[in-house]
Amino acid sequence: MATFTWEVYANTPGWFSIAANTLVFSGSSTDLTTPITVGSWNDGTHLGDGDPGSDQCGTNHVPNVKWISSTQFDNGGGTETLSDANLVQTECTLRVNFTDGSSVATSNARFYSYDGSVTTNEAVGIEAYAFEQGVSASTWTQINDDSGNVGGDNSGERLSLSDQSADTEHTFYIAISASPESVGGKTQFDFGIALTYS
Amino acid sequence: MAREAQNIKEDFYAGDSKQILVTVYDQNDNLFDLAGCEVSYAMWHPKTEVIVLQKSSTDANQIEILNPTTNGVFAVNIKPTDTVRLNGEYRQQASIVDGSGNDVIVMTGRVMISKSFARRIRNDSISAYMLGT
């Protein structure tokens, strides 16, 4: 049966499933409850068992990738140019695994943010960018801008992921950066992934 | 030895697994022995001439010369990822280089690839949260 597993590189550190936890963007590399100033970008990424709940990262927190410009990021060491060499797999926000008992090829894969209810609706009150590591990309892709009505699983408003040739396991490494557009908790805010396989 | 009009006009959908069988004849219309030959295949867009697919018998997973070689048949193996993003009419060609170094086109034709919609889909999601101040 085809299955998705969402993982982060944290705790010991090592890759582990986020299970039912929530991916929390905060204004602190160590405290998931620290808010982010409106218009500013995440300084911390965490796993919480609620909104945000208690920190489930373990010893090491989820790697944080902060949007600086369309071609730059900061993961705690200062501004760097977006590239596979500068942002390696273990520095990405998420690793999404797709597995199937049979060897299958994947296509039309995409990553998006949405309101948690309708996949074609953008997430509410946030702006977000995403980047796929390992495909020689060099720019962020905007996946959400609520004020600009951008987001959801819509062509041109999501991150297109690489086609992958036949295998029983497929992996996508994704970096995400988010910013609140208004004061308050952003709960109509989920990430989705979809693909076809054969 | 080129055979025109080796067309695929239907039943070829983007993302299909497909095997294109080609039979090679010599100038006397006899089956050509493919022993020791290297086979190449290409598909390209007819207007832009951009090659969208290339295969070679140096990799048997790409092009397989079928046994016995005296039957003159080779199979071009098309994988789903080869055509998943293709849609429309393309041109195709196959060539062989025999043991004496003779290089000749043995097949040409048109290929119509239709969009496919009925593919298995999977999706999933996770929750996210942020507090703005």
- Give which of A93, A112, A69, A124 is closest to A10, Cα–Cα: A93
Per-residue pLDDT for B24 more than 60? yes
Does the CB of A123 have a partner CB in chain B at under 8 Å? Answer: yes
Output the pLDDT for position B4: 54
Of A51, A183, A195, the CB nearest to B129: A51
Output the pLDDT for position B82: 86
How would DSSP label each residue in A9-37?
EEBTTEEEE-TT-EEEEES-SS-TT--B-
Q: Which residues of A touch B128 (CB under 8 A)?
A: 22-25, 113, 123, 178, 186, 189-191
The average pLDDT across A58-64 equals 96
Output the pLDDT for position B16: 85
Helix (H, G, I), strand (E, B) or coil at B103: strand
pTM equals 0.73
Handedness of CA A52, A53, A54, A56 (dihedral sign): negative
Model confidence at A1, in pLDDT bands (50, 70, 90)?
Answer: confident
Per-residue pLDDT for A43 more than 70? yes
- Give which of A43, A53, A46 is closest to A11, Cα–Cα: A46
Query: Mean pLDDT in chain A?
Result: 96
Does the CB of B119 have a partner CB in chain A at under 8 Å? Answer: yes
- Give which of A71, A70, A40 is closest to A178, Cα–Cα: A40
**Helix H segments across chain B?**
80-83
Output the pLDDT for position B116: 81
Distance from CA of A46 to the nearest CA of B (A): 10
Per-residue tokens: B120: 């298995």
Q: Cα dist. B131→A34, A58, A73, B41, B78 in Å?
A: 8, 21, 21, 56, 50
Of B79, B120, B128, the CB nearest to A23: B128
Does the CB of B15 have a partner CB in chain A at under 8 Å? Answer: yes
The average pLDDT across A121-138 equals 97
CB contact under 8 A, A52 and B120: no
The average pLDDT across A102-122 equals 93
Measure the CA–CA gap between A127 and A148, rounded to whole angstroms.
9
Q: Which residues of A touch B17 (CB under 8 A)?
A: 198
Instruction: Give the distance from CA B66 to its chain's centroid.
Output: 16
Helix (H, G, I), strand (E, B) or coil at B81: helix
Amino acid present at A148: G
CB contact under 8 A, B126 and A183: no
Per-residue model confidence as pLDDT tens digits over A139-168: 999 999 999 999 999 999 999 999 998 899
Residue B122: HSE in the Cβ half-sphere, 13 Å Cα cutoff: 17
Amino acid present at A5: T
Per-residue model confidence as pLDDT tens digits over B115-126: 887 788 899 999
The average pLDDT across A170-175 equals 98
Output the pLDDT for position A115: 96
Per-residue model confidence as pLDDT tens digits over B37-60: 999 999 999 999 999 999 999 998
Model confidence at B1, in pLDDT bands (50, 70, 90)?
Answer: low
Of B80, B125, B128, the CB nearest to A107: B80
Output the pLDDT for position B8: 83
Per-residue pLDDT for B15 more than 90? no
Per-residue tokens: A63: 């790697």
Output the pLDDT for position B120: 87
Helix (H, G, I), strand (E, B) or coil at B80: helix
Share of chain A above pLDDT 70, in %: 100
Contacts of A73 (CB under 8 A, 6+ apart): A65, A66, A67, A79, A80, A82, A86, A87, A131, A140, A175, A177
Model confidence at B35, in pLDDT bands (50, 70, 90)?
Answer: very high
Cβ count near A107 (within 10 Å): 23
The dihedral region occupied by A125, where left means phi > 0, alpha psi between -120 and 50, and beta the remainder, is left
The dihedral region occupied by A59, where left means phi > 0, alpha psi between -120 and 50, and beta the remainder, is alpha
Per-residue model confidence as pLDDT tens digits over B65-116: 998 888 999 999 998 878 888 889 999 999 999 989 999 999 999 999 998 8
Q: Cα dist. A190→A89, A113, A197 in Å?
A: 22, 6, 23
CB contact under 8 A, B132 and A37: yes
Model confidence at B19, in pLDDT bands (50, 70, 90)?
Answer: very high
Q: What is the DSSP letter of B66?
A: P
Output the pLDDT for position A198: 81
Of A23, A25, A119, the CB nearest to B126: A23
Measure the CA–CA gap between B116 and B16, rounded to whole angstroms.
8
Per-residue pLDDT for A49 more than 70? yes
One-letter-per-residue 3-state SS of A114-178:
ECCCCCCCCCCCEEEEEEEECCCCCCCEEEEEHHHCEECCCCCCCEECCCEEEEEEEEEEEEEEE
Output the pLDDT for position B26: 87
| CA-angle at A84, arms to B51 and B14, nearest 5° | 30
Distance from CA of B2 to the nearest CA of A (A): 32
How would DSSP label each residue in B104-128?
EEEEEEEEEEB-----EEEEEEEEE
Per-residue pLDDT for A128 more than 60? yes
The average pLDDT across A83-94 equals 97
